[in-house]
Amino acid sequence: MAREYQIGMLWVDGPLSFLEQVCIKSYLDVGQSVRLYTYGNVTNIPDGVEQRDAREILPVSEFITHSRTGSPAPHSDKFRYRMLAQEPDLIWADTDAYCLKPFTTPNGHYYGYLEGEVAIGVLALPQDSETLGKLIEFTRDPYRILPWMPPRHRKPLEEALLNGTPVNVPEVYWGAWGPKAFTWALKQTGEIKYALPEHVFYPLNYTRRRALARPGARVDQFMHEDTVSIHLYGRRMRAIMRTKYGGKPDPESLIGKLVEKHGIDPLAAPIQPHGGDEGSAAGIQE
């Protein structure tokens, strides 16, 4: 009998939009429990979700945002690694990862390729995974110069360190702790052999993301029998919805059909003007 896993997610602060709601509801509607970690006041959470204080995993004192965009993405990367180390019965899912079938894994490894790298939008690792150990080690110190960074980035960081002005790496370099870090660690440990094909979690890759919102787009051609998730590219998709579709999905688009299927009202949970893939970091308290 397959092991039962619960889904673990993070939303930092502020209201969920219909895009996050439909993804969360997709797990509940296939019978999989969802635990949503939050730091601030999060509203529009679907019924049936277990809400937990994110400080159980990472204190606010360790919070890191990307300086140029204000996105909490680096904190989210660090958070998921710590969550997996602490909670063996959770599979991480981004709040823009839509579920087609319940998530489970026979060996504790659950992740897949996306455009040449191994992505972390859906992620599970055993607690004793060497990869997980490396990721936790590297994310402890934001000033640590990372071995997977290209020489053109490493050189100025090394010079700054020698000059006594070390740089907070994830604040400056987008994605420093994300898929590039994960792919590097998997290759170092040999655990990359567990990575699943792109179509399992990301059947429509980033370059095809607009098809998710386009009315009449034939997205079924990208689905396989073993596809379990569709990534909706939250931050980018919210921008597409705002600028091209008046803030709500076209009923003839895939997203429009999904909100109808799960009983989500887009007008009751509108897309906010700004915010990262895990909500805003503004206003959270110790």
Task: Tell me if 284 is assigned to some domain.
Answer: no
Task: Tell me if 111 is assigned to some domain.
Answer: yes
- pLDDT for 78-99, tens place per residue? 999 999 999 999 999 999 999 9
| Closest to 255 (Cα-Cα) out of 201, 213, 219 | 213
pLDDT higher than threshold 60 for residue 286:
no
| Closest to 53 (Cα-Cα) out of 34, 35, 75 | 35
- pLDDT for 43-83, tens place per residue? 999 999 999 999 999 999 999 998 888 889 999 999 999 99
Task: Tell me if 272 is assigned to some domain.
Answer: no
Query: Taking the CA of residue 9 as centre, how many other CA atoms within 13 Å lie in the half-sphere pointing to its CB?
Result: 29
Can you list the positions of beta strands (E) in 119-228? 122-123
- Cβ contact 193:225 at 8 Å: no
- Kindly state the percentage of the chain with pLDDT values over 90: 77
pLDDT score for 16:
96
Lowest mean pLDDT among 237-241, 249-253, 255-259: 237-241
Task: Tell me if 255 is assigned to some domain.
Answer: yes
Q: What domain range includes position 30?
A: 6-261
Task: Tell me if 274 is assigned to some domain.
Answer: no
pLDDT higher than threshold 90 for residue 1:
no
Task: Tell me if 203 is assigned to some domain.
Answer: yes
Can you tell me whether residue 85 is helix, strand or coil? Answer: helix
Task: Tell me if 186 is assigned to some domain.
Answer: yes
Task: Tell me if 153 is assigned to some domain.
Answer: yes
Residue 27 vs residues 62, 88, 123, 256: alpha-carbon distances, Å = 30, 18, 15, 18
Q: What angle do CA 176, 276, 105 make, to 5 degrees?
A: 65
Domain CATH for 62: 3.90.550
pLDDT higher than threshold 70 for residue 277:
no
Count of domains observed in the chain? 1
* CA distance linking residue 197 with residue 114, whole number of Å: 8
pTM of the model: 0.94
